[in-house]
Amino acid sequence: MKTKIFTMNGQNDEAYIKEAAALLQDGEVVAFPTETVYGLGADATNEAAIAKIFQAKGRPSDNPLIVHVATKGQLNELVQVYPSYVDTLITTFSPGPITYVLKRKNNVATNVTAKLDTVGIRIPNNDVALRLLKEVDLPIAAPSANMSGRPSPTKASHVYDDLNGKIAAIVDAMEAEVGVESTVIDCTGDVPLILRDGAITKEAIEAVVGEVRTLSKKEKMEKPKSPGLKYKHYAPEVPLILVENNALLQEIVDHYEAEGNRVGVIVTKKMAENIEAAHKIVIGNKDVEIAQMLYDTLRSLKKDQFDVVVSQSFSIEGVGLAIMDRLTRAATEIVYK
């Protein structure tokens, strides 16, 4: 299959949106940008189209997909009656990097939901994504547009590296603004339950709806309602060592260098001033910067340059919780001592 590239340049954008929408309406798979990461889209009502997503990604079929829509009205067409706090969440945070898990109607393909009675839905806060969703006039299931297990794509070039020749088209627009996947919140109970951390934090959600629950480790592994909970994700080409105690970072770097390894170390600008290493990979200082750079950084770690990469740990406040969640899932080993 030859993958078409639709580069949004301000001149042919309308034509590209129409062509991409036509491909989706014909049951093809198209990658497109969102504010979180690039998504791999297909018609959420078409089981055969959805099967192409799983095939292209090499994704396990028991891992549910998130559906993207352009409006609250389209969301309501796919789900049953939900608690009143969901209206508050949608008004406050959507369009935006938040996904609502709700009781579904029967108009979504069963392979979208991994045969669960719920579906995850969000309204992305990205102009190209919204224009495409409005043009196609269909709910579009769209997991991250990468090979399963690899770091998620925040640039069209990442999608091309993983999926060229495996999908119909890539809509090439801006780099993802947020850089980590959406917060996923289960809204099927009286109290909202965060299934996956993202840029919309627990504190922000609590500020508008009050009590919010979070998942235990055991709950995350039991037939998850959210993608990104059950399987290994985000792994770079080389072994990644996550150091939970940053006081030990230099010791761990020295250990691997003493063994003759080519060692890279992921550090903030501030931490870089206090670490001696041949290869420092600087990832910003603020959590927002780190989130934006995280997947691009993980994708840059190549076997021909490094034998092992050591990463410092980051704050678990705000979006830092999402950053540490992704690094924990990407890590080959975590040093706790």
Q: What is the CATH number of domain 4-221?
A: 3.90.870.10
Domain spans, the chain:
4-221, 240-335
First-to-final CA distance of the chain: 49
Average pLDDT over residues 160-183: 97
Q: Is 44 exposed, middle or buried (0-12, 13-18, 19+ CB in 10 A)?
A: buried
What is the length of the chain?
337
Structure tokens at 98: 């938040």
3-state secondary structure of 153: coil
pTM given for the model: 0.93
Buried/exposed code over 230-240 (b: 16+ C-beta within 10 A; e: otherwise): beebbbbbbbb
Nearest to 122 by CA among 207, 185, 205: 185
Q: Which amino acid is at 290?
A: I
Confidence bin at 227 (pLDDT 50/70/90):
low
C-alpha angle 262/267/268, rounded to 5°? Answer: 155
Query: Is residue 333's pLDDT more than 90?
Result: yes
User: Residues 25-69: pLDDT tens digits?
Assistant: 999 999 999 999 999 999 999 999 999 999 999 988 888 999 999
CATH-assigned architecture of domain 240-335: 3-Layer(aba) Sandwich (3.40)
Q: Do domains 4-221 and 240-335 have the same CATH topology?
A: no
Alpha-carbon distances of 204 from 15, 89, 199, 208, 318, rounded to whole Å: 39, 10, 10, 7, 9
Average pLDDT over residues 196-206: 96
Q: Which amino acid is at 145?
A: A
How many C-beta atoms lie closer than 10 Å to residue 170's C-beta? 26
Please report the pLDDT score of residue 220 as a whole number: 55
User: Residues 73-115: pLDDT tens digits?
Assistant: 999 999 999 999 999 999 999 999 999 999 999 999 999 999 9
**Which residue has tokens 């497109």?**
32
Which helix (H) or strand (E) is 51 found in, with range?
Answer: helix 47-57
